Amino acid sequence: MEGISRQTVRDYIANGISTIKGMSSTISAQVVALLIEAQTESGINGPVMEIGVFEGRMFVLMALASEPGEKLFALDTFRHPDDHQIDRFRANLDRFGIDKSRVIEKKGSSIDHGPWKLRQEMGVPARFIHIDGDHSYNGVMHDLMISHKCMSDSAIICMDDVMHPYYPGLTLAVHDYLRANPSLAVFAVVDRASIVAASKYMICHRSKLEFYQAIIQDRIGNHIRHTQGDFMTNRALIVMPDAQKR
Ligand SMILES: C[S@@+](CC[C@H](N)C(=O)[O-])C[C@H]1O[C@@H](n2cnc3c(N)ncnc32)[C@H](O)[C@@H]1O
């Protein structure tokens, strides 16, 4: 059963993830899985949401790593690059045995979703949210806002593609949002393949900063760079595949 077998998650990272189109790296998949598993061990539960699921590469991982009873919110226009995107997404869920009754598909632009209705549908606030949809400044500001309003006090927002040279508006939006909302903090920056390509920011409520940093130190300490990211109000761990060598 999904959520129960850690081996299923490891197998998916080792062999399954590369069979679904998408960009997320192995290291970011490992970090996402270990954080969701650590949340479960610490009694942190709730729905999981992804804005921009594409064909399900990260979504399947989050589904496998979370608990069987937890809802999975999938937001996407489902028109990228054609109207059959949703069929490929659903086929991938089937292929990896994801229980479809957990999945709430929201077809259309995330800009059309307000936080209150989403939060109401969730029942309880979300524990993990991956943002990887509209990469424009306004789109990211909106997606951060709805995620912020839907997250629990112990939740994580994982923001993709920060510092990607193609998406300066995304990077500006993330930093503007963080500056305007100092109760949120980046606890780790996870490298894709090279730190200059793009990173995922792992964001939590500031009160949970040390809690999540300790989890990463404990479980994946060999991937932490010696130098930390200076966010002025706190330092973030830098997690990368060959951290000790660089
Ligand atoms: C980079 S892909 C996501 C990759 C995916 N997270 C994965 O793990 O493979 C971006 C996705 O965002 C979706 N998207 C773009 N603009 C959007 C919007 N305004 N609302 C919802 N989804 C959007 C696209 O349809 C596309 O599927």
The mean per-residue pLDDT over the stretch 124-141 comes to: 98
Ligand 1 atom with the shortest distance to the CA of 75: 21
Distance CA 75, CA 139 (A): 13
- Write out pLDDT tens, residues 137-150: 999 999 999 999 99
- Write out pLDDT tens, residues 19-30: 999 888 889 999
Ligand 1 atom with the shortest distance to the CA of 111: 19
- Write out pLDDT tens, residues 36-46: 999 999 999 99
Mean pLDDT of the chain: 94
pLDDT of residue 2: 42
Q: Is the dihedral of CA 81, 87, 93, 96 positive or negative?
A: negative
Which residue among 50, 59, 80, 170 has the greatest number of ligand 1 atoms within 8 angstroms of its CB, and so is best to mutate? 80
| Higher-scoring residue by pLDDT: 109, 194 | 109
Residue 112's pLDDT band (cuts 50, 70, 90): very high
Distance CA 203, CA 209 (A): 8
Task: Enumerate residues lining ligand 1, CB below 6 A.
Answer: 22-24, 51-54, 57-58, 75-77, 80, 109-111, 132-134, 139
Helical axes 137-150 vs 168-180, angle rounded to 10°: 40
CA of 71 to the centre of ligand 1 (A): 19
Distance CA 77, CA 163 (A): 24
Alpha carbon distance, N-terminus to C-terminus of the chain: 39
Q: What is the pTM of this model?
A: 0.95
pLDDT of residue 85: 97
pLDDT of residue 1: 42
- Write out pLDDT tens, residues 41-77: 999 999 999 999 999 999 999 999 999 999 999 999 9
Q: Is the dihedral of CA 205, 69, 96, 222 positive or negative?
A: positive
Domain spans, the chain: 6-239
How far apart, in Å, are the Cα atoms of 172 and each of 189, 201, 212? 16, 13, 25
**3-state class (DSSP) for residue 8:** helix
pLDDT of residue 4: 54
CATH fold, domain 6-239, is Rossmann fold (3.40.50)
pLDDT of residue 3: 43
* 98 φ/ψ angles, rounded to the nearest 5 degrees: -80, 130
